[in-house]
Structures are given as C-alpha cells and as structure tokens.
Amino acid sequence: MKWKSLNLVLTCKVLVILAFLIPATPAKAANLKLSIHLVWGSNEEKLPNSNYKKLNEEMANKLKKIFKWKYYFEISKQTVDVPTRSTKKFNVSKKCDIEITEMEGPRVEVKLYGEGKLINRTVKSLTKDELFTIAGDDKNETAWFVIIKLLEEK
C-alpha cells in the first residue's frame, strides 16, 4: 500500500519546521488597531471645504468601481486602538460617532450614531485589507462613507 511507504525521516523534518513556526505566531490578546476614514463622495471636482483633501488614490479607485460618484474627499482620518473585549466610541464628525466593540473570535460590533441616535449596528469579522464601509446618500446628490480598516491582523 502506498501509505505504508511513508517516509518517517520526512515526517520528522516537517515536525521540526512546525515546531519553529508555532512560537513565531503573534499573541492573540493584542489591541485591535484600526483606521477610520470619513469620506464624502461628489460629482463635483471642486473641494467643498478647504479642510477636506483628496482621498488617497487606492481607496478612491475602489469606491469609484462600486459607486456612481466621480470624486472622493477625505473629511477626517484617525488611527484608533480598541482594547481586547472592550468598547470604545470615536467621534467621526460633528454629527456622527462610531462605537466599536472587540468581540470573541475575529469579530467586532460596530455601532453608527447620528446626532447621538443609534442608526445601525453591524456585527462582522474584520480582515486585514478589507474595507468595511457604512455609507448613505447626502444632500445635493452626494454621499458620505465611513470606512473602517483593520491595520494589523491579530
């Protein structure tokens, strides 16, 4: 039988490599490091406010492929930490807050508040490079986007 010819030396080599690999993996209790972007989408190229700046090209290109707006502006950007199994609230704009709870497993609970009122609650897992976007229409055919990105895989 083919399996009978299993090479024991090879198996031992694999085990040795694994023994090195396992301790190399990061500890699981690190804080959750995220970036939160508040973005405004418009069909007008002109900056609506001097405090706004053009959104980085990579993120803007992703949004352009999905949504109808031609131009995307960064209103605010923050890098935040959420300690393990705890909740933190972040002010994104005058009217908007985001509350993030680090949950069991790779999951987070994200609550969106508009003028202090809870609007939406989403529970999902975050993966590095994935953009989790909460968005909606704004006045004059524009739109807002809150984009949450996991910066470091736990």
Partner 1 sequence: MITLEQKLKIQAYLDGELSQSEAKKVEFLMASDQEAKQVFEELKCAADLLQNNEPEIKMPISRELFWNRIYNEIQKDEDESVSVFDYIRHLKYLLLNTKYLVPVAATIIALISIFLIKDFAKPIEDYLVSIETTSEEVGSYSFRVQSENMFVVWIYNKDKSDEKNIESDLIYDDDLFLQ
Contacts with partner 1 by CB under 8 A lie at: 1-3, 6, 8, 11-12, 14-15, 18-19, 21-22, 25, 62, 65-68, 105-107, 112, 114, 117-125, 127, 129-137, 143
Residue 75, exposed/middle/buried by CB under 10 A (0-12, 13-18, 19+)? Answer: buried
Q: Could you give the CA distance from residue 78 to residue 80 in angstroms, rounded to a whole number?
A: 6
- Please report how close the Cβ of residue 110 comes to partner 1 at its closest, in angstroms: 9
Q: What DSSP state is assigned to residue 108?
A: E
Q: Could you give the CA distance from residue 16 to residue 34 in angstroms, rounded to a whole number?
A: 35
Nearer to partner 1, 47 or 143 (CB): 143
Lookup: tokens for 76: 């605010």
- Please report how close the Cβ of residue 62 comes to partner 1 at its closest, in angstroms: 4
- Please report how close the Cβ of residue 47 comes to partner 1 at its closest, in angstroms: 22
Lookup: tokens for 97: 């807050």
Nearer to partner 1, 23 or 50 (CB): 23
